[in-house]
Amino acid sequence: MKPSTLAFIDGQNLHLGLKAEGWSVDLRRLRVFLQDKFGVKEAYYFLGYLDDQQQDLYTMLQKSGFILCFREHNSLLLGKKKGNVDVDIVFAMMKSLIDTPEIQEKIILLSSDGDYKRVVEYLIKKEKFEKLIFPTKNPSSLYKKLGNKRVYYLGNAKSKIQYKKKGIVEHSHSSEPFRHNTLSNI
């Protein structure tokens, strides 16, 4: 049986990384790319916190095939805190492997953040890690020892996944609710 592949995406790291590189990603194309290139069955997109001003983004992410995961915050602290999702991503990766040990799953992580180094090394040791996808040319130096087999630079797929403006961009103003996950139902 071929292992299924799950992708865990640090949304802020992806957005800020590509912004620093001078381009943005077409979310639909990214999801198709992850499926076609790496066989990604489910793609979990982690965001800081639920923001009512970002409904269009959340709808677009869902329509593109991503499963949204938000960081839980005390509502009094929302404006004072960044949406650090690192711990949530690590927890979700490990939970997916422990809760379904009978299913052979491989993990893909999309982030340049060195905070994931220990879990990446552990998953490689356990033969559960597939690929670390960097949104920037300059990821954390902690990943230098991984070698080319384990890493992929997202810029290599820029021609396939880059967002291209087509005149006036229309935004969906759908009032339909979006489905999202908290860590309790991943």
- Name the percent of the chain in helix, strand, coil, to the closest 5: 45, 20, 35
The packing angle between helices 86-99 and 117-125, to 10°, is: 20
- The confidence score (pLDDT) of residue 186 equals 54
- The confidence score (pLDDT) of residue 138 equals 84
Domain that holds residue 180: 4-185
Q: Based on the structure, what is the number of domains in the chain?
A: 1
Q: How many CB atoms lie within 10 A of CB 129?
A: 20
Cβ proximity of 6 and 34 under 8 Å = no
Per-residue model confidence as pLDDT tens digits over 4-49: 899 999 999 999 999 999 999 999 999 999 999 999 999 999 998 7
What is the dihedral sign for C-alpha 166, 177, 11, 156? negative
- The confidence score (pLDDT) of residue 175 equals 38
CATH number at residue 127: 3.40.50.1010
**Stated pTM of the model:** 0.82
Q: What average pLDDT score do residues 132-154 get?
A: 89
Per-residue model confidence as pLDDT tens digits over 77-123: 555 445 679 999 999 999 988 887 777 789 999 999 999 999 999 99
- The confidence score (pLDDT) of residue 178 equals 39
